[in-house]
Amino acid sequence: MNLQSVAKKFLLHGDYMEAQPYGSGHINDTYAATFDQAGTRVRYIFQRINHRVFKNPVALMENIYRVTTHVQAKLAGARSRRALTLVPARDGQPFHRDEAGNFWRCYLFIEGARTYDTVESPTQAYEAARAFGGFQELLADLPAPRLHETIPDFHHTPKRLAALEAAIAADAAGRVRDCGPEIEFVMKRRAR
């Protein structure tokens, strides 16, 4: 994989300097790439979309494009800090498909932002919920059509519970004995 050759497929300015794996995600491959733009270092995020998880990357990127452009229009001047900004590919698409069939997307890097893998305090949980509510408010007037369902039944709770029960019954990895409190937590809330 040559990220520099992928970067050339996007509408970026400046000279490619370097790229490093970035973040702690486990679905897509993510890299922070640095470019020299007339003496100023500018970073971008590149992601190779896991097409085994997202079996229709084109529909996924149509969703992301619609949501990000809608949110940016509503945020106006504050958008570079508060919303993702997709960098289009040179062919105008919100993604690039490489010779190996991998789908790539590119975003402006939001400097100073931080992500958390686990909640560290009640205040942090509150702020995350408040931010999510604000995001939902920004999308309340997203015009039709509906967004694509990119992972069928991902949010279908009865099917997810049935899959969990089947996994517990099979115990293929021998983990049920170590997950008693977590299983009990879910099962107590099953009927709600």
Task: Report how far residue 16's alpha carbon sits from residue 34's, in angstroms, rounded to the nearest whole number.
Answer: 6
Nearest to 52 by CA among 156, 153, 150: 150
pTM: 0.84
Question: Domain 3-139 belongs to what architecture?
Answer: 2-Layer Sandwich (3.30)
Residue 78 has pLDDT above 70, yes or no: no
Residue 169 three-state SS: helix
| Cβ-based neighbour number of residue 178 at 10 Å | 9
Contacts of 3 (CB under 8 A, 6+ apart): 19, 31, 33, 46
Q: Are the beta carbons of 56 and 64 closer than 8 angstroms?
A: no
Nearest to 35 by CA among 94, 114, 106: 106
Q: What are phi and psi of 40, to 5 degrees?
A: -110, 130
**Residues 40-65 pLDDT 10s:** 999 999 999 999 999 999 999 999 99
Q: What are phi and psi of 22, to 5 degrees?
A: -135, 140
**Residues 80-93 pLDDT 10s:** 567 899 999 999 99
| Number of DSSP helices (H) and strands (E) in the chain, helices first | 6, 5
**Average pLDDT value for the chain:** 93
Q: Where are the domains of the chain?
A: 3-139, 157-188
Q: What are phi and psi of 163, to 5 degrees?
A: -65, -40
**Residues 153-190 pLDDT 10s:** 998 999 999 999 999 999 999 999 999 999 999 999 88
pLDDT of residue 80: 58
96-97 vs 40-49, strand pairing mode? unpaired
